[in-house]
Structure 1
């Protein structure tokens, strides 16, 4: 993985790699807004190489608008973040996903 590759481009490639004619009909990636304000991200891990891996809850709280929380539960990667932290949240997913890829130490 190239750290210079923009995280959105990386996420698009990860999503495309999961699409097999079936997966995309049942699972996917969702980015929504929160009313506090902020964003939520859910990334389905079912039927991916990451489905049996866990990310323990990690909360980064800097201020009321600068925060990121990430965790996995029930084969879903979850992120919630402040209004300006979407890139950081997705980068945390990329770091976790690539460090847990098959054949990697992690």
Structure 2
């Protein structure tokens, strides 16, 4: 999949959860990390994924090639190396699509 596909999927997921209320207190966050890397958070409160948990999954262990993702019942999150933003985004979107 291309990065454009990941963005379309993210837009679709976000829009499908906007109901006039959810988007005022929840949403999507993508930010840079100082180690370096990226952090993604999709708020799942008020969605069909609310309450679901997922133990931390670790993929890759090298300095630049690492990806962790997990869900705590209120959100699904991923943290990854500096060149894995697209893969991390696809990974969390795959999870909330199940």
TM-score (norm 2): 0.90
Of 59-68 and 18-27, deviating more is 59-68
Secondary structure of 1:63 counterpart? coil
Aligned counterpart, 2:66? 67
Structure 1 residue 53, shift from structure 2 partner = 1.8
Runs (5+) with no aligned partner, structure 1: 100-106
Aligned counterpart, 2:51? 52
Aligned counterpart, 2:93? 94
Structure 1 residue 9, shift from structure 2 partner = 0.5
Of 90-99 and 37-46, deviating more is 90-99
Aligned alpha-carbon RMSD (Å):
1.6
Structure 1 residue 97, shift from structure 2 partner = 1.4
**2:52, 2:73 within 8 Å by CA — same for their partners in 1?**
no
**2:68, 2:80 within 8 Å by CA — same for their partners in 1?**
yes
Structure 1 residue 74, shift from structure 2 partner = 4.0
Matched, 1:25 2:51: no
Runs of 4+ in 1 over 2 A off after TM superposition: none
Aligned counterpart, 1:104? none
Runs (5+) with no aligned partner, structure 2: none
Partner deviation per Cα, 1:52-99 (whole Å, 9 max, x = no partner):
222221011241011100001141111100011111111111221122
Partner deviation per Cα, 1:18-71 (whole Å, 9 max, x = no partner):
111110000000000000100001110000011122222101124101110000
